[in-house]
C-alpha cells in the first residue's frame, strides 16, 4: 500500500514543502519515496512494495512522459487488462499494476474506471493540457482528500495530515462536523472536521483544470434482488464468486496473512489460508471480551499458524491519542483500537492481510436488520396510537421494551440512520454550546429517496454501504492498518462479489432466525458449523466496564471539565451522563465514549486552542 500528496501552482520552497507532506504519511509507504514537479503541479509519493518490488516505483510515466501517475491501492485484474492494452499497441516498462492505470487512461480515459477490479485512489497529471484526474474506488476502501485554495489552487492527499502541512492551507475547525459526528459517531463524508477540506466520495472521480473542479460519480452500488433466485443458486453463486475474489486478493510478491476472530466473516476468509498466518486480538476481561479461544480452535481446524495478542487496559487507553492522530478525524468506534493492535501484531510477520469487512453490508449481517420483522406486528396498530404510546413511555425511567415501543412508532427513515445512532437532535441541543443541533435524517434522506420502492432490509443495507461503511468501517480499516505499514485487503468488497450480493432476495438474507443466511450456508462448506452459525457480535470492547472504574472515571471527568469541553459542550450535561453511568443507573458508555474520543482528537490536532 502507498500514499500520495500534492498541490498545484507555484510556491516558495515547494520541494521542501512537498517532502514534508510526503514524510507525514511515511507510515503508508516506508519503502521508498518519489516526486515530480513542474510549473503546474508538485506530486509526492510514499511506497509500500507489494507487486513488482524492484520496478514499481512512482511517480510513473507513460511512454512519451505526457502522463504522470501516483497510485495507492491494488488492481486485481491488471494482468488481463495489461494483455488487452499490449494488443492495442501500448508498451509496458514494468510488471506493476500501477502502469495499467496509465495506459488504460490513455486508451479509455475515464471509462477505464468501470473496467477495474480492486481498491484504489490515484492521481494522473496530463502535462499537455495541465489537468489533474483523481479517482477513488467503488466502495471507498482507499482514501482521497482535497481542498481548493482561495486563488483556485488544489491541494490533495491520501490523508488530511499531509494536506495540513501546505503553508497556504489554514487549519480551521468545522463545527458542523461535530454536530453530525454526535449523531453518527464518525465524520460524515463529504465534509470533514477541517473547514474547506473534503473527502472525495467512493466511486467518484475529480477533474481539475485552470482552477476549476468537477466531481462525477462513475458507479453506484444498487441492489436489484432477483425474487426467483433459489436458495441453492444463491449459495452456489456466493461460494463461487467469493472463492474467486479471495484468489484475486491474494495476488502479491510478498507473504499474505489474514485477520481472524470467531465470526463467520473472518473465518470464511481464513478458510483459504491453510498453512499460512492468521492474527487475533482480545481483552483480558473475561470470555465475552476475548474470542481468541474460538479463533484458535478454527485456526487448528483449518491448519493456520495462529498469533494472538491480549490487549491490556493500559495499552488500550495509552494508545488513544496516537489512534486518533492516525485516523485524521475523530471516530468513536471502540473496535478501531483493537484493529490498531491486531494490525501491529500482523505487521511483525507479514506485509499484507485479508479481512472480512463488507460482508454484513453486502449480505445483510447486522442484527438490526431483523428489526423490520420484529416490528411488523406492532406496526399494524394505527400510527397515532403508536405515537401516543411512544410519547408516554419516553418520559419514564428506562425499562425493558421501552426502545421497542419508541422505535415502533417511527418510520424506517426516522428510526434508522445507520449502525450507530448516538445522540438525538434533542440530546444534542442540550449538549452543544453555540453549535446548532440538526436532524441526522437530513443526511440520510437522499439515500432513502433512491430506494423507496425496495424492502426495508435492502434500504437499510444500501444506506449502510453509503454512510456507515465509508465513514466508520473502511476509515478504521485503512488507517489502523496503514499506521503499521500493513496493507489490508477486503475480498468481500469486490465489485464481482457485489454483483452477486445485489441479486440475492431478502428472503435468503434474513431467514431461519439469523442474518446473512445464504452467506452462512456458503461459508459452511469451508468452515465448521459452530463458526458459520455464530451470531454477529462485532468486536466487543469493555468500555462499559472500564468507565465504572474510578481511575477511568476520573480520567474522562478531567477531559469533560477541561478547556476544550467548556468550549463546545454544556459540561454539566457531560458530567450527568458520566455520573449516571458510574452509578449504574444508565449505560451511557457509547455516548460518553463519543464525546471523549472527540476531545482526545481535538487535543491532538488543535492543542493550542
Q: What is the CATH number of domain 231-312+330-365+464-532?
A: 3.40.50.620
pLDDT (0 to 100) of residue 286: 56
Q: Find the distance separating the first CA and the last CA of the chain, reported in whole Å.
A: 34
What are the backbone dihedrals phi and psi of residue 6, each rounded to the nearest 5 degrees, phi first? 170, 175
pLDDT (0 to 100) of residue 92: 93
Assign 37 to helix, strand or coil.
Answer: strand
| Class of the CATH-defined domain 2-217 | alpha beta
Cα separations in angstroms, 391 against 382, 402, 403? 15, 11, 12
Q: Where are the domains of the chain?
A: 2-217, 231-312+330-365+464-532, 542-609
Give the number of other CB atoms < 10 A from CB of residue 50.
Answer: 23
pLDDT (0 to 100) of residue 54: 57
Beta bridge partners of 308: 280
Take residue 583 and report the three cell numbers written for it: 452509578
The question of whether 2 is a catalytic residue gets the answer yes
Integer Cα distance of 324 and 322 in angstroms: 5
Take residue 366 and report the three cell numbers written for it: 447486522
Residue 489 contacts by C-beta under 8 Å, 6 or more apart in sequence? 74, 119, 249, 256, 352, 353, 354, 355
pLDDT (0 to 100) of residue 17: 97
- Residues 407-419 as b/e (b if ≥16 CB within 10 A, e otherwise) read bbbbebbebbbbb
Contact 553, 408 (CB under 8 A): no
Integer Cα distance of 25 and 162 in angstroms: 7
Assign 468 to helix, strand or coil.
Answer: helix
Integer Cα distance of 479 and 326 in angstroms: 6
Cα-Cα-Cα-Cα torsion 47, 52, 58, 60, nearest 10 degrees, comes to -160
Contact 263, 298 (CB under 8 A): no
pLDDT (0 to 100) of residue 288: 59
Cα separations in angstroms, 554 against 456, 545, 558, 572, 588? 43, 14, 6, 15, 16
Q: For the chain, percent helix, then strand, then coil, each to nearest 5?
A: 45, 15, 40
Say which of 2, 5, 199, 336 is annotated catalytic.
2
DSSP conformation letters of 219-273: --------TT--HHHHHHHHHHHHHHHHHHHT--SS-EEEE--SSHHHHHHHTT-
Tell me, what DSSP letter sits at residue 64?
T
What are the backbone dihedrals phi and psi of residue 301, each rounded to the nearest 5 degrees, phi first? -65, -40
Beta bridge partners of 512: none
What are the backbone dihedrals phi and psi of residue 152, each rounded to the nearest 5 degrees, phi first? 100, -10
Q: What value, to the nearest 5°, has the Cα angle with vertex 109 and ends 107 and 114?
A: 100
Contact 474, 327 (CB under 8 A): no
Integer Cα distance of 588 and 585 in angstroms: 9
In this structure, which long-range contacts are made by residues 190-193, counting pairs with CB atoms below 8 Å and at least 24 apart in sequence?
Answer: 192/145, 192/160, 192/328, 192/329, 193/329, 193/330, 193/601, 193/605
For 121, the enclosing helix (H) or strand (E) is strand 118-126
Same fold, 2-217 and 231-312+330-365+464-532: no
Contact 449, 341 (CB under 8 A): no
pLDDT (0 to 100) of residue 532: 79
Cα separations in angstroms, 188 against 262, 466, 561? 30, 10, 27
Residue 286 contacts by C-beta under 8 Å, 6 or more apart in sequence? none
pLDDT (0 to 100) of residue 539: 67
Integer Cα distance of 488 and 498 in angstroms: 19
Which of 550, 554, 553, 562 lies closest to 598 in space, CA to CA?
Answer: 562
Instruction: Reply yes or no: is the peptide bond before residue 59 cis, omega within 30 of 0.
Output: yes
Integer Cα distance of 120 and 102 in angstroms: 13
Cα separations in angstroms, 579 against 430, 549, 565, 572? 17, 12, 16, 10
pLDDT (0 to 100) of residue 2: 86
pLDDT (0 to 100) of residue 609: 65
Contact 324, 604 (CB under 8 A): yes
pLDDT (0 to 100) of residue 479: 98
Instruction: Reply yes or no: is the peptide bond before residue 408 cis, omega within 30 of 0.
Output: no
Please compute Rg for the chain using Cα positions.
Answer: 24
Which of 163, 133, 130 lies closest to 146 in space, CA to CA?
Answer: 163
Cα separations in angstroms, 210 against 199, 205, 219? 21, 17, 26
Report residues of the chain scoring pLDDT below 50.
none
Compute the half-sphere exposure of residue 401: CA atoms within 13 Å on the CB side of its CA: 3
pLDDT (0 to 100) of residue 123: 98
Amino acid at each position: 500500500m502507498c500514499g500520495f500528496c500534492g498541490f498545484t501552482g507555484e510556491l516558495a520552497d515547494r520541494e521542501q514543502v512537498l517532502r514534508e507532506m510526503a514524510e507525514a504519511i511515511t507510515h503508508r509507504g516506508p519503502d521508498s519515496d518519489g516526486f515530480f514537479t513542474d510549473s503546474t503541479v508538485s506530486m509526492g509519493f510514499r511506497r509500500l512494495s507489494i507487486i513488482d518490488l524492484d520496478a514499481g516505483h512512482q511517480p510513473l510515466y507513460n511512454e512519451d512522459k505526457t502522463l504522470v501517475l501516483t497510485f495507492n491501492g491494488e488492481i486485481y485484474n491488471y494482468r488481463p487488462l495489461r494483455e488487452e492494452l499490449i494488443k492495442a499497441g501500448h508498451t509496458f516498462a514494468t510488471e506493476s499494476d500501477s502502469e495499467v492505470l496509465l495506459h488504460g487512461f490513455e486508451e479509455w480515459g475515464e471509462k477505464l474506471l468501470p473496467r477495474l477490479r480492486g481498491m484504489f485512489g490515484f492521481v494522473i497529471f496530463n502535462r499537455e493540457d495541465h489537468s489533474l484526474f483523481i479517482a477513488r474506488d467503488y466502495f471507498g476502501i482507499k482514501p482521497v482528500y482535497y481542498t481548493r485554495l482561495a486563488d483556485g489552487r488544489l491541494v490533495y492527499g491520501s490523508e488530511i495530515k499531509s494536506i495540513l502541512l501546505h503553508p497556504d492551507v489554514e487549519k480551521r475547525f468545522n463545527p458542523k462536523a461535530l454536530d453530525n459526528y454526535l449523531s453518527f459517531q464518525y465524520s460524515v463524508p463529504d465534509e470533514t472536521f477541517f473547514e474547506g477540506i473534503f473527502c472525495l466520495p467512493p466511486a467518484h472521480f475529480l477533474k481539475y483544470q485552470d482552477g476549476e473542479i468537477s466531481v462525477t460519480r462513475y458507479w453506484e452500488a444498487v441492489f436489484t434482488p432477483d425474487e426467483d433466485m433459489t436458495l441453492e443458486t444463491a449459495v452456489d453463486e456466493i461460494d463461487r464468486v467469493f472463492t474467486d475474489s479471495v484468489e484475486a486478493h491474494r495476488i502479491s510478491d510478498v507473504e499474505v496473512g489474514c485477520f481472524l476472530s470467531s465470526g463467520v466473516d473472518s473465518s470464511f476468509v481464513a478458510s483459504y489460508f491453510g498453512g499460512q498466518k492468521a492474527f487475533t486480538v482480545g481483552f483480558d476481561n473475561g470470555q465475552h471480551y476475548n474470542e481468541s479461544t474460538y479463533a484458535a480452535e478454527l485456526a487448528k481446524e483449518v491448519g493456520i499458524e495462529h498469533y494472538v495478542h491480549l490487549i491490556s487496559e493500559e495499552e488500550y487507553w495509552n494508545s488513544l491519542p496516537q489512534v486518533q492522530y492516525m485516523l485524521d478525524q475523530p471516530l468513536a468506534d471502540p473496535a478501531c483500537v483493537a484493529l490498531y493492535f491486531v494490525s501491529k501484531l500482523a505487521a511483525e510477520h507479514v506485509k499484507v492481510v485479508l479481512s472480512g469487512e463488507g460482508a454484513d453490508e453486502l449480505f445483510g449481517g447486522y442484527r438490526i436488520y431483523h428489526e423490520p420483522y420484529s416490528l411488523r406486528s406492532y406496526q399494524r396498530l394505527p400510527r397515532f396510537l403508536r405515537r401516543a404510546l411512544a410519547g408516554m413511555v419516553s418520559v419514564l425511567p428506562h425499562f425493558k421494551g421501552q426502545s421497542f415501543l419508541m422505535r415502533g412508532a417511527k418510520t424506517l427513515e426516522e428510526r434508522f440512520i445507520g449502525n450507530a445512532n448516538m445522540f438525538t437532535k434533542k440530546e444534542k441541543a442540550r449538549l452543544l454550546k453555540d453549535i446548532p443541533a440538526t436532524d441526522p435524517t437530513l443526511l440520510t434522506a437522499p439515500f432513502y429517496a433512491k430506494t423507496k420502492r425496495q424492502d426495508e432490509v435492502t434500504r437499510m443495507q444500501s444506506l449502510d454501504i453509503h454512510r456507515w461503511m465509508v465513514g466508520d468501517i473502511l476509515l478504521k480499516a485503512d488507517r489502523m492498518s496503514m499506521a503499521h505499514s500493513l496493507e489490508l485487503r477486503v475480498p468481500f468488497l469486490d465489485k464481482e462479489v457485489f454483483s452477486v450480493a445485489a441479486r440475492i432476495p431478502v428472503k435468503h438474507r434474513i431467514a431461519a432466525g439469523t442474518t446473512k443466511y445464504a452467506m452462512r450456508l456458503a461459508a459452511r462448506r469451508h468452515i465448521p458449523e459452530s463458526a458459520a452459525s455464530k451470531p454477529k457480535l462485532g468486536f466487543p470492547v469493555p468500555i462499559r466496564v472500564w468507565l465504572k472504574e474510578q481511575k477511568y472515571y476520573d480520567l474522562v471527568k478531567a477531559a469533560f471539565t477541561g478547556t476544550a469541553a467548556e468550549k463546545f459542550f454544556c459540561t454539566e450535561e457531560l458530567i450527568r451522563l458520566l455520573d449516571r453511568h458510574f452509578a449504574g443507573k444508565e449505560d451511557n458508555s457509547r455516548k460518553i465514549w463519543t464525546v471523549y474520543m472527540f476531545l482526545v482528537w481535538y487535543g491532538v490536532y488543535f492543542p493550542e486552542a
